[in-house]
Each structure stands twice: as C-alpha cells, then as structure tokens.
Amino acid sequence: MRKIRFKVYGLRFTVLGFVLLLVACGGHQGQVAVTDTVTDDYGRTVVVPAAPQRVVSLSPAVTEIMFALGAGDLLVGRTDFCVYPDAAGDIPSIGGISNLNVERILSMQPDLIISGSMVGKKFTDQFDQMGTPMVCVIEKPKFEALYDNIKAIGKLVGKEHEADSLIENLKLRMESLLAHGDSSQNTQLPSVYYVVGFGAGGNFTAGGNTFINDIIRMAGGRNIAEDIEGWSYSLEALVKEDPNFIIVRREDSAAFCGMKPYNRLSAVKNGHVIGIVSGTLDLQVPRNIDAVLYLRKRMNNK
C-alpha cells in the first residue's frame, strides 16, 4: 500500500501551530490537534485538517451527504452534477468530473477535497503532488455501506455526532419499511430491469454486485441482471427475459418507451415502466430509502 503524507498547509497552519504551542505553555491542559490521519477507500493514507473550513466536493453523493449532515456551509466548490439539494446550486461549480479543471479547483483554496468513484487515479496523484489533501469516498457494492460512507464523511467534516444520528434514523426507517409489507418471502417476485444506458451506445444495467441490486430486492423485485457483474447487458437477454417492470430515470422514460425494440417489451406495453428521480437510485445516498419505498409502492400497484 502506497503511503502518502501531505505537508501542513503553508503559513496559516504554521502560525496556528505556534499559537497552540503558546496556549499549551500557558498552562492549558492538552493541545488541539491541527490534523488527523485517515485511510480512504483507495487505501491511501492522507493527512487532513481536523476541522476543515473550505471543502470542494467532486461527487454528487458526497455533496448530498454533506448537506444531510448540516455541513453544506463548508462547501466552496462542487461539480456540475451536484444538484441536490437545491441549495447545492448556490455553490460555485468546478465543472465536470471526467476531465477535472485542476486550476479551477485550486483557485477555490480548499483545505480538503472529497472525491467519489468517478475521479480517476491521475487526479488523486496530481493533488497529492500539490499538497492539497484529497480523500476518496467511493460507492460500494452493498446497500449497508451507505452508513459507512456517511460515517466517513461525518468524521472528515467534523460532524460525527450528526452522522451517528442520521445513520440511526435511516436504519430505523429501513427496519420499519422492511417490517411492513416485506415481500422477500414471495417466491414469485416480479422481474425487474434497471436502465442505466440504452440505444446505439449499448445496454447497461446494474448487476448483482451493486447496491442498486440490493435496493431492487428490498423493494420486492428480482433484478434480471442479478447473476452478472458489472454494467453491460445484452439486448438479446433483455428481450428474452422480458421483465415485468422496467425502472428508468424519469427524464429518459419517454425516449426509452418510444424506441425500438424496447417499445415491444411487455413492461412498456402494460404501463409498468417506472420513472424514478435521478439520484435516488443511481447514487449511494440517504434518498436510497425513498427509492425503496417508491419502488415498492409502484410494483405493488401493478
């Protein structure tokens, strides 16, 4: 595992450390830590500020979780895709994710950058070399990992108590949801296909090794792609399986239903295409529980 250490961030932290030293010498017990050390989801050891004040988020999921923790006021930058909640739109954008504008990010003078699954290693290496701490909190295969991500982000931004409270609340909501109307014992679960991509560019869905598969299962459905890993799915397999329900982002629903050969699928003909709000299912965020509830209601009203 590659060990990465970041230098303390310039004169401002040097001065702060000197002030803390003076306070300690004056008889106060203990000394406030200026930095913490964390290991991120890429196995990188990163020295981060103990109480960051200027955070740039390079992940819609990170941005959403920060707002859920009451830490939205720490954000000084976000991506074009960080659009939830509405207040995120008031934060200056650094642009897209696949081709990050490094200069734009650095111009925001962040003392911490938090990235997600879409940020490539070359960018983490760039920021490493520049001495700006970047911590990667990525989406994980199991639904329950949502709680781990909330806890990790809460620790990074000084909101550990809020993270614990949010996790407890989400777990209680999920337990209540699964306890009432749980259809997991039903051997004839409706078959479900989730549309990630479609058309000339190929067909993509969420395989069995994704948290999305868990959400479909908890909603009372059977993901027809549960036996595959990754995201690619053949059109032939989709037509053959002819699922009872199709889930698609709401903004893509009309295009999908009007395109051949998808318009010949039983779910399209029977009005069983479920348009879902972007971000509730395709990001690992607290709104995943809303997605479970919404999908369960829609599939039970078939």
**CATH top-level class of 10-160:** alpha beta
What is the rounded average pLDDT of the residues 64-85? 98
| The pLDDT value given to residue 230 | 87
Q: Looking at the predicted structure, is the pLDDT value of residue 75 above 60? A: yes
| The pLDDT value given to residue 20 | 37
188-300 has CATH 3.40.50.1980 classification: yes
| The pLDDT value given to residue 121 | 77
pTM over 0.95: no
pLDDT tens digits for range 237-263: 999 999 999 999 999 999 999 999 999
| The pLDDT value given to residue 28 | 38
Of the candidate ranges 1-15, 217-231, 281-295, the one whose mean pLDDT is the lowest: 1-15
Burial 57-94 (b: 16+ CB within 10 A, else e): bbbbbbbbbbbbbebbebbbbbbebbbbeeebeebebb
| The pLDDT value given to residue 21 | 35
β partners of residue 37: 47
- Distance in angstroms (rounded) separating the CA atoms of residues 231 and 10: 44
Is-contact 35 156, C-beta < 8 A?
no
| The pLDDT value given to residue 181 | 59
β partners of residue 35: 49
**Of 178, 155, 240, nearest in space to 203 by CA:** 240
| The pLDDT value given to residue 5 | 41
Q: Tell me the pLDDT of the chain averaged across its residues.
A: 88
| The pLDDT value given to residue 61 | 98
**Of 208, 204, 205, nearest in space to 141 by CA:** 208
pLDDT tens digits for range 186-203: 568 999 999 999 999 999
Q: Looking at the predicted structure, is the pLDDT value of residue 92 above 90? A: yes
Q: For the chain, what percent of residues have pLDDT higher than 90?
A: 76
| The pLDDT value given to residue 301 | 66
Is-contact 274 295, C-beta < 8 A?
yes
Q: pLDDT band for position 278 (50/70/90)?
A: very high
Radius of gyration of the chain from its Cα atoms, rounded to whole angstroms: 22
Is-contact 53 39, C-beta < 8 A?
no
Is-contact 221 245, C-beta < 8 A?
yes
- Distance in angstroms (rounded) separating the CA atoms of residues 267 and 243: 7
- Distance in angstroms (rounded) separating the CA atoms of residues 290 and 266: 26
**Of 136, 93, 142, nearest in space to 116 by CA:** 136
Domain with CATH 3.40.50.1980 in the chain: 10-160, 188-300
Of the candidate ranges 108-122, 152-166, 204-218, the one whose mean pLDDT is the lowest: 108-122
Q: Looking at the predicted structure, is the pLDDT value of residue 16 above 60? A: no
Of the candidate ranges 28-37, 94-103, 252-261, the one whose mean pLDDT is the lowest: 28-37
* Long-range CB pairs of 291-297, under 8 A, 24+ apart, other chains included: 291/215, 291/219, 292/174, 292/177, 292/215, 292/218, 292/219, 293/177, 295/215, 295/216, 295/219, 295/220, 295/221, 295/247, 296/177, 296/181, 296/183, 296/219, 296/220
Of the candidate ranges 18-22, 92-96, 209-213, the one whose mean pLDDT is the lowest: 18-22
- Distance in angstroms (rounded) separating the CA atoms of residues 256 and 262: 7
What is the rounded average pLDDT of the residues 35-41? 93
Find tokens 């690992």 and name the residue.
284
- Distance in angstroms (rounded) separating the CA atoms of residues 219 and 302: 13
